[in-house]
Amino acid sequence: MPSPGPSRPPTLDEVAERAGVSRTVVSRVVNNGPHVSRAKRDAVEKAIRELRYTPNRAARALVTRQTGVVVLVVSGDGPEVFTDPFFAQIIAGVAAALEKTDLNLMLSLATPVHGRQRLEAFLRTRGADGVMLVAMRGEDPLIDIAAKSGLPTVFVGLPMHGTPPFYVDVDNAGGSRAATEHLLRSGRRRIAMITGPEDTAVARERLRGYAEALMLAGLGPYATEPGDFLEQSGAAAMRALLSAHPDLDGVVAANDNMAAGALRVLREAGRTVPGDVAVVGFDDLLVAVHTDPKLTTVHQPVQALGREAARMLIDLLDGAQPEPFVLSTKMVVRESA
């Protein structure tokens, strides 16, 4: 294939053709992404040198009218959502992936009325090149707003309904199943669950994993009580569970914040942990090592979730068609179970 003339810089497609790989692989190499074999990476780097390809989004923006801005949108009721360690880790992961690009990150809190109106107006005027949506609940209008904008969109976690073409998620059901199985192996049989918000896919999947583990053990779900992922809701749910089921001997909480609230109530009620009641959380964020006792939990790679979502959006902006990505979880055993 002849080299492109001096009047036109080489394209990503030409690099892919020269290297004998897909456009997605080239994009991953250019943006220092994972999941590329050494042989393919070497072939792409060789093609880049031969063609003198320069991934300069700032220059391309003059032709394509790109803004150089991508938006991370969080659905929430107030700015305190950004103080949640989960979202802080998501933001850190996104920022890390964008560090070696020419893209700038904009954070948007889509509060129920004014925040969504502002975001809709911003996207409608093509103020950004792409969107990442986090923490969608129920029939969240943000999903429709992003779709109408026509911008490349990546979901960080699946929405409640439907499966979008581009998303990064965690194996929520598998993690919750592992947490429940851990309690079963320790001899617990009366295992309750503090669930997350009923209008979120993550809570639904974690409840499914809990129920599947008990079913495989020949048991039915013992008792469930809803929470909202905040510590106070975990405490309230634990009080309700103790009142209705004083003989329970294990608790799976759908996140670490609620598990921390449950531990506090169990201590107030004079129940020893893990002697009387064993408790497992989900997330493995900083709170897990500051509870008393330290929390056994399911580790999900939250920062990697943000990083992979940003890399997927970069691929889309480079014209590739990346595959959905699901990250694995693992048990972290400490003192509470």
pLDDT band, residue 39 (cuts 50/70/90): confident
CATH assignment at residue 217: 3.40.50.2300
Q: How many domains does the chain have?
A: 3
Residues 216 and 99 both lie in one domain: no
Residue where a domain stops, chosen among 36, 55, 74: 55
Whether residue 279 lies inside any domain: the answer is: yes
Q: Any idea what the CATH number is for the domain that residue 33 is in? A: 1.10.260.40
Residue 208 and residue 283 in one domain: yes
Residue 101 in tokens: 């690009």
Q: Are residues 214 and 194 in the same domain?
A: yes
Residues 155 and 194 in one domain: no
In terms of Cα–Cα distance, which of 212, 188, 201 is closest to 280? 188
Instruction: Pick the range with the lowest mean pLDDT from 1-5, 97-101, 269-273.
Output: 1-5
As a whole number of angstroms, the distance between CA 145 and CA 135 comes to 15
336 in a domain, yes or no?
Answer: no
| 280 and 166 belong to one structural domain | no
Question: Is there a single domain that holds both residue 99 and residue 127?
Answer: yes
What is the structure's pLDDT at 318? 81
Q: Are residues 155 and 178 in the same domain?
A: no
Q: Is residue 92 part of a domain?
A: yes
Which domain covers residue 252, as residue numbers? 172-299
Mean pLDDT, to the nearest integer, of 43-58?
78
Q: Is residue 242 part of a domain?
A: yes
pLDDT at 44 over 70: yes
- Gap between the Cα atoms of 180 and 159, Å rounded: 24
- In tens, the pLDDT along 75-111 reads 766 666 666 788 889 999 999 999 878 788 888 776 6
Tell whether 112 and 230 lie within a shared domain.
no
How do strand 296-299 and strand 153-156 relate by DSSP bridges? Answer: unpaired
Mean pLDDT score across all residues of the chain: 86
Do 176 and 161 fall within a single domain? Answer: no
Phi/psi of residue 294, each to 5°? Answer: -60, 145
pTM of the model: 0.77
Mean pLDDT of all residues in 190-200: 94
d(CA 41, CA 30): 9
> Would residue 115 count as lying in a domain?
yes
For residue 58, the model assigns a pLDDT of 47
Question: Which residue, chain included where needed, has tokens 């497609």?
Answer: 13
Q: What is the pLDDT of residue 112?
A: 64
Q: Is residue 2 part of a domain?
A: no
- Asked if 268 and 157 sit in the same domain, the reply is no
Residues 191 and 284 in one domain: yes
Whose tokens are 């992003």? That residue is 146
